[in-house]
């Protein structure tokens, strides 16, 4: 099942242009620790169509190596070059825009902190005397109250402050709500009156633009596929790419159809989008 505000001709043409699919992970190709049964056939279908893909996630709790290992355990062989997390994007951003920043207070998981340390940054302690050059707030499943209070303190002191992603909750197959980075930054805002200077992850289009630049692609040759309108589809719109919303995660069909604007493609799963890509090749030819 799929829905679209596009005409049949517009949809077919847009799909025929796609050479690369950027895939959100949790809620799109798996949910928590459960791989969707249609994911591997979909990836195989992309390969057969000559369409490359990468994995783009707002979840910074795992390092690139951790994600390679997780995907491997789920049956997906992915290279580090095919995975772009908001932790990696945040590191890139700091190195470009805050070249003198070396000492960071990072509210994040040990895996994420290790990735920052491997990139050459030093972590500051939960100590008012250990002033950082920059504050980084991320989705932190190891969060303690003391470190949340310290992050709020540094935000109140006016040092540069970035967040890795705006997600309010993280998709899960467990009976619990996983409070994500967007909710944590709102907590800091209510305590201090300050929001992050920049939110690195989706819907910021820079992550998707980086993929385009590395692969030599035009915006209309890329599709961003994910389960959230306010991150995944918004990223595509901001980057000029094709936004594909799947209903296997956070968003319901009712919510999608009531959104303004309606996502260009609403599909029940990535498998449905794969069929649209295949059908478009039949109409326009593999080299369209």
| Residue 286's pLDDT band (cuts 50, 70, 90) | very low
Decide: pTM greater than 0.85: no
pLDDT tens sequence across 251-262: 999 999 999 999
DSSP 220: G
Alpha helices for 36-106 (secondary structure H): 39-48, 64-74, 86-97
pLDDT tens digits along 99-138: 999 999 999 999 999 999 999 999 999 999 999 999 999 9
Buried b (16+ CB within 10 A) or exposed e, 219-233: eebbbbbbbbbbbbb
Q: How many Å apart are CA 281 and CA 124, to the nearest integer?
A: 53
């Amino acid at each position: 099942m799929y829905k679209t505000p596009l005409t049949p001709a517009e949809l077919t043409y847009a799909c025929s242009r796609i050479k690369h699919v950027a895939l959100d992970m949790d809620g799109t190709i798996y949910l928590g620790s459960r791989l969707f049964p249609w994911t591997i056939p979909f990836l195989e279908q992309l390969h057969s169509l000559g369409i490359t893909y990468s994995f783009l996630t707002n979840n910074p709790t795992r390092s690139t190596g951790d994600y390679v290992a997780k995907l491997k355990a789920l049956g997906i062989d992915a290279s580090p070059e095919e995975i772009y997390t908001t932790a990696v994007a945040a590191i890139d951003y700091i190195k470009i825009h805050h070249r003198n920043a070396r000492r960071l207070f990072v509210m994040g998981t040990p895996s994420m902190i290790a990735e920052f340390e491997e990139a050459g940054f030093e972590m500051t302690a939960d100590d008012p005397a250990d002033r950082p050059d920059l504050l980084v707030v991320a989705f932190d499943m190891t969060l303690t109250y003391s470190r949340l209070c310290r992050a709020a303190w540094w935000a109140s002191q006016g040092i540069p402050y970035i967040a890795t992603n705006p997600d309010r909750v993280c998709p899960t197959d467990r009976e619990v709500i996983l409070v994500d980075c967007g909710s944590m930054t709102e907590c800091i805002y209510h305590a201090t009156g300050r929001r992050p200077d920049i939110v690195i992850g989706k819907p910021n289009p820079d992550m998707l633009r980086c993929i385009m630049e590395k692969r030599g692609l035009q915006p209309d040759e890329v599709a961003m596929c994910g389960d959230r309108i306010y991150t995944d589809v918004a990223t595509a719109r901001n980057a000029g790419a094709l936004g594909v919303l799947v209903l296997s995660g956070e968003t319901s069909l009712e919510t999608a159809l009531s959104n303004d604007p309606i996502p260009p493609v609403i599909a029940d799963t990535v498998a449905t989008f794969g069929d649209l890509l295949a059908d478009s090749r039949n109409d326009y030819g593999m080299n369209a």
